[in-house]
């Protein structure tokens, strides 16, 4: 009867503010803590487990960071490798082009060499023909045909003929012009490949102003017109680029002067065998 009466008292209790509502009798009998109180029986968090989880996550982050850096490095290496491969491909292409160009130039060189040889052959044949055409210049007509080794006004010194062109200043020539003059006579500017030939040139050099001979500087060296080197460097002044040699009366050493000067000149050709 007490339980029923208590329940009736709760039901019939006068209404009041919501926050001051009387508690139900049964509420005080339940084991849970009243609202607004802290349950002192709940387990506190395990800090050791949290620390272990945090360490694991930190290690995983470091591992992932290292992995990312490794992948970035590999990517950079891949790009570098691709660039090198492309550069090698371009270089190989350039090498092929250069090889093809070298083959073309070599072929052109061979063709020019053949052409030069043919021209030299034609030149030699022309020289022989011109010598035959001018045979009357070497031989006197008369009751007995008498031939000489050199043409008129040429001086014979075995095995060559020499022409000393001691012209007035207004008719003098540069080295190139003098060479062309001699070639037009089937001759060349005088050359000396031994001491005897040198003495002949010096002996007949009657000009005090000097006469051109076939010696000029090429690539820092004295060379004869035929491309051969001077056999004795003491015969002439030291080489200077753009200079040619002149032989002067009573001076044993040939002088070095600019090839563009106007000088007299000496021509030389092979003597005719009679």
Per-residue pLDDT reduced to its tens digit, 52-102: 778 888 888 888 888 888 888 888 888 888 888 888 888 888 888 888 888
Q: Tell me how far CA of residue 4 lies from CA of 1, 24, 25, in angstroms.
A: 5, 13, 11
Tens-place pLDDT, residues 103-119: 888 888 888 888 887 88
Q: Tell me what pLDDT residue 89 has.
A: 83
Mean of per-residue pLDDT scores for the chain: 79
Non-local CB neighbours of 266 within 8 Å, separated by 6+ positions: 162, 163, 164, 165, 189, 190, 201, 204, 205, 211, 212, 213, 247
Global confidence as pTM: 0.51
- Which domains are assigned to the chain? 108-147 (no CATH), 155-270 (3.10.100.10)
DSSP H helix total and E strand total for the chain = 5, 10
The separation between CA 180 and the C-alpha centre of its own chain, rounded to angstroms, equals: 37
1-to-5, 14, 65 alpha-carbon distances in Å: 6, 22, 76
pLDDT single digits (tens) 151-163: 888 998 888 999 9
State the pLDDT at residue 67.
86
- Checking if the pLDDT of 124 tops 70, the result is no
Tokens of 156: 């014979």
190: left (phi over 0), alpha (psi -120 to 50) or beta: beta
- Residue 162 has what DSSP assignment? E
- The secondary element (H helix, E strand) that includes residue 18 is none
């Amino acid at each position: 009867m007490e339980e029923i009466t208590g329940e009736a008292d709760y039901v019939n209790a006068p209404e009041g503010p919501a926050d001051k509502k009387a508690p139900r009798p049964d509420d005080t009998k339940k084991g849970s803590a009243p609202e607004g109180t802290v349950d002192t029986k709940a387990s506190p968090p395990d800090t050791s487990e949290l620390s272990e989880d945090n360490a694991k996550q930190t290690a995983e982050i470091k591992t992932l960071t290292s992995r990312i850096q490794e992948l970035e490095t590999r990517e950079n290496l891949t790009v570098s490798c691709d660039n090198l491969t492309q550069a090698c491909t371009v270089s190989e292409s350039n090498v092929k082009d250069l090889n093809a160009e070298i083959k073309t130039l070599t072929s052109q060189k061979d063709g020019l060499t053949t052409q030069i040889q043919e021209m030299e052959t034609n030149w030699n044949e022309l020289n022989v023909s011109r010598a035959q055409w001018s045979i009357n210049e070497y031989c006197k007509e008369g009751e007995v045909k008498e031939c000489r080794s050199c043409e008129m006004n040429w001086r014979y010194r075995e095995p060559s003929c020499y022409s000393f062109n001691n012209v007035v200043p207004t008719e003098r020539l540069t080295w190139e012009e003098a060479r062309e003059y001699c070639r037009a006579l089937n001759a060349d500017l005088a050359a000396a490949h031994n001491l005897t030939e040198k003495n002949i040139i010096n002996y007949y050099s009657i000009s005090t102003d000097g006469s051109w001979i076939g010696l000029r500087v090429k690539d820092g060296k004295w060379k004869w017109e035929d491309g051969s080197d001077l056999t004795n460097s003491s015969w002439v002044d030291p080489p200077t680029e753009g200079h040619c040699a002149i032989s002067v009366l009573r001076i044993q050493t040939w002088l070095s002067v600019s090839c563009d000067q106007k000088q007299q000149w000496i021509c030389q050709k092979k003597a005719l065998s009679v």
